[in-house]
Each structure stands twice: as structure tokens, then as C-alpha cells.
Amino acid sequence: MPGLVDLAARLREPGYEHEGMLATEMAAAVAGGVTSVCPPDTDPVLDESGLVEMLKYRAEKLQRARLFPLGAITRGLAGEVLTEMAELTEAGCVGFGQADVPLTNTQVLQRALQYASTFGYTLWLRPQTRPGKGVAASGPLATRLGLAGVPVAAETIAVFTIIELMRNTGARVHLCRLLQRGGRRARAGSQGRRPAADLRREHQFAALVRHRHRVLRQPGTPESPLRQQRDRDALSAALPTATIDALVSDHTPVETDAKTLPFAESEPGATGLELLLPLALQWGEQSGAGLKRAIEVITSAPARMLAAAGSARVAVGAVADLCIFDPATEWQVKARGAEEPGQAHALCRLRPARPRARHAGRRSRGP
């Protein structure tokens, strides 16, 4: 099958080398069958062409997965001054985003969309307003535990704003890592050109394994907390019908010490590159979507969003990005450093879910 395309994999270099290195995370990508990765953020942010060229050069030197960087919409992600998108595109950027920093200034967002529309660029936007210091999805459970909640409106308002500005400017938009069904409905109900959208792989796992505590920002989960079960089920159901286009790993390596802090102060993140294919296959089987759709949402669909020549395509003369796997073979995920089959390659040891009690690690299928 074609190599996997991951639209959200944080490689942690430059900026967070103590949590992950370009070499380790690229090795994890290749081990998971991912041949094309798109990092949503770096530190320093990619707001100058020299930084983009340096990152691409280091990735190419490793000769592992191909790298498709996203440039910053505003300088330093401050939400005030637009970057030189034309120069960043020439340096190798495939689109522009604000990482996980909300762009709350509507005027700046409109100007960015106008700029992007003029030159045919795509803006990758995480639909969210400023939720404060929320660490759990707002609801009864968060209230009982005394945790600051993130309201549903934080995403819904942002989605409606983006769609309205998109309609006025004619720009191409990609909505990144939707969290709740209101955002999905707003996108599905938009008239004219619809923005593309992707979904984190935790939604598929959480929709299959129903744990009430998943509404929290668990130490082994990414930045934003998953919503209640009805939202996760609605998003999972939207993937087979192409209402949502792609599935991403949201791979975020985090050092172990950052997880030993109190719950609200711990750093969110989990490894996901090596689990993207197994979880997609599990979702395709148990949801009834089938093997074809399960492979499509992690190969050809995200490749179309990147407009990446040769990616996720098996053809004469195309780039030989291939993934070979046996869907009938099970393997057991083990921590990095275990000298045996199934060991993780990513520097981060934290997975998106704890293993079942009867296993020393989670059994998965894939490459």
C-alpha cells in the first residue's frame, strides 16, 4: 500500500530536543509506515525562509520520511503581523498555520485569508477561541473534580467565524483536529466550498474503547481534552462518509518528568506515529467503514490536502513511498529501549492509552 501521510506530527526539533529528536521521531515515522510528515509547529516558529530551509535540509539528510513544513501565519505566532507567505512557500512550506495558538483578531485572520486566496495558499487553522486555562472538557465530571473546563463554544464559534471569512475571501482552509460535533455540523452545513478537516486518532480509539475519564486531558493525551462520548461518536461516524477527510496521529513527544506534576500542570502529549496505522485498521474493522476507507484516510486523503506530488500513490514513475504490512499479524507495543519486537522508536514513552491489565503492552496490527 502507499506510505502513510501524517498531517500532524510534532518532531520536537528544533526547540524541544530534550523531548524528541528529528532522528528518533523520523525513525518512529518510518517504523509506523509513515513516509510523509507535516509538523504543525516548531520553536522557533517557521516565520523566516532560512528556518524552513534548515529544517528541510536536516530532514533530507536523514533520508527517512519526507517532511512538509507549515509556515507561520503571523510573526512569532503573535497574531499581529503577517509573515511573507510567498517567501516561505519558495523555501518549501506547503501551507500556513498558527499551531495551537488561537488567532482571535478577526481583522488579521481576514487579511491572512485574502493574502492566501490571492496566491492560492492554504491556511491550516485550529478552530478555537481562548479557553483560558481549561484542562478538561466542560461538564459534570470536570465540575466534580474541580478542574477548569473548556467550553464547547470555544470551537463552534471559531468554526463559524472561519467559514464565514472563507466564504467572503474564497481562500482554501484546512480545519485541524476537530474536537466536537458542533464544529462538524457547521462545516457540513457550509455552502459552496467546504474547508477540509482532519481528526485525531484518539477519537477513533476512544469511540471504540469507552472510558468516562477520556473527557479529561489525561497525561497520555494531547493538548486539547477529548469531548464527551456523543461528540466522539459523531466525529467517528463522520469519517466514513468523508464529512471529515483525514485521520492524524497528533504525535507529541513529552519527557517523563513533565508528567509527574499535578494533573492541571502536567504537559499534555503522547506518541502516536507508530500507532496510526494499527488504530486506523481497528477503527475500519469495528466501525464497518472497511479496509479501503481506513487506508484512504491515512494515505490518499491527507496527500490531497498536502498536494504532495507522488505521495500516497502507487504508480509507474511515482515516488516509491510504500508501506508493507500484514493485517493478520499482531504485535505488542513496548517501551523504547526494549530489545525485542514491538519496541517503540519514538523518544517519548507515553502512549495515548494505558495497556489492558492482562497485557504488558497494547497489542496492535500494522507494519
Q: Rounded to whole angstroms, how far apart are CA atoms 50 and 59?
A: 14
Contact in structure between 224 and 272 (CB atoms under 8 Å): no
Contact in structure between 77 and 87 (CB atoms under 8 Å): no
Strands 363-365 and 330-332: antiparallel
Q: Rounded to whole angstroms, how far apart are CA atoms 66 and 28?
A: 13
Q: Rounded to whole angstroms, how far apart are CA atoms 226 and 178?
A: 10
- For the question of residue 41 being annotated catalytic, the response is no
Q: Rounded to whole angstroms, how far apart are CA atoms 167 and 97?
A: 18
Q: Rounded to whole angstroms, how far apart are CA atoms 306 and 210?
A: 33
Catalytic residue among 47, 231, 245, 250: 250
Q: Rounded to whole angstroms, how far apart are CA atoms 145 and 217?
A: 13
Q: Rounded to whole angstroms, how far apart are CA atoms 202 and 10?
A: 16
| Cell numbers for 171 | 481562500
Task: Output 225-233 pairs: Cβ under 8 A, ≥24 positions apart.
Answer: 225/134, 225/135, 225/136, 225/137, 225/150, 226/137, 226/179, 226/202, 227/137, 227/152, 227/179, 227/180, 227/181, 228/137, 228/139, 230/181, 231/179, 231/180, 231/181, 232/203, 232/206, 232/207, 233/207
State the residue for C-alpha cell 472497511: 290
Reduced to 3 DSSP states, what percent helix, strand and coil does the chain have, rounded to the nearest 5? 35, 15, 50
Q: Rounded to whole angstroms, how far apart are CA atoms 19 and 357?
A: 28
Q: Which positions are catalytic?
A: 250
